[in-house]
Amino acid sequence: MGERAAYPSDLTDDQWAVVGPFLQAWKDRHPSVSGHQGRYELREIVNSIFYQNRTGCQWAYLPHDLPPKSATYYYFALWRDDGTDQVIHDLLRCQARERAGRREDPTAVVLDTQSIRAANHVPAATTGKDAAKKVPGRKRGLAVDALGLIIAVVVTAASVTDNAIGVRLLDNVVAHTPTVTKAWVDAGFKDDVQIHGAVNGIDVEQVKRTDTAAGFVPIARRWVVEQTNGTLMLHRRLVREYESRPASAVSRTWWASTANLVRRLTGTTTASWRDPGHQR
């Protein structure tokens, strides 16, 4: 990082030791034809992505002591398109599961969707209105394991049904984590999801909310994915839909979850905007 002052979202030396080897291996597989090593260190590129994810700032508002948009977006888009963002995330997730005494790959997942309002510049062709929640924008669908670690992400127009998103999530789970044989969902996921799961060897079970208990009551199995959604909301770039491409919104989710995994693996935390000690 040179001599600049660190931002709360920056990778510490211990955190870089966790994620850095994967990116260095990626760089070794993609040497420059001219032999140029690049002006910016990959650690600073990740710091820039983490900063924007955490603060929600616009590209033009990235601090001057971080890599500019031209460099940050170049790597962000490259890693989005070649799948490096998910590969790094999944490798770290396996480490986190092993540290928690679990097998590398889960056998069960929980599915959920969340409607996110879109900013004015987001293309209308990729957005819609959630008929139930009356939210204009996009939907983020997640499949998480029993620890709340993300297994699959789908981003669509908010007008797309939970059923359709559930089918896509199951397809992604089967493609990347074929060990899964059980999935829990809420009442929004109908027969199509259960049938699609059965065809792919996954038993899909609805866990319905009860209206008999007063106040907030965590719902068995489903509370895990709700907690994950809440953790993602600490990354302001995910609170509202700013990305022109749904694929970029998916990548933002992988990077936010990667930041959470790095902290989990190193036993560290990142100061929240809710932390009174960091208010000015």
Question: What was the pLDDT predicted at 3?
Answer: 79
Contact 200, 180 (CB under 8 A): no
Residue 258 has pLDDT above 50, yes or no: yes
CA distance 89 to 85: 6
CA 263 to chain centre: 14
Residue 19 has pLDDT above 60, yes or no: yes
- The tens digit of pLDDT for each residue in 193-231 reads 999 999 999 999 998 776 565 555 566 678 899 999 999
CA angle, corner 138, sides to 51 and 9, nearest 5?
A: 10
Residue 280 has pLDDT above 90, yes or no: no
Contact 170, 140 (CB under 8 A): no
Question: What was the pLDDT predicted at 279?
Answer: 43
Burial code (b: 16+ CB inside 10 Å, e: under 16) for 249-265 equals bbbbbbbbbbbbbbbbb
Instruction: Set out the domains of the chain in order of their start, with CATH numbers.
Output: 105-209+219-242 (3.30.420.10)
- The tens digit of pLDDT for each residue in 98-123 reads 999 999 999 999 999 999 999 999 99
pTM score of the predicted model: 0.91
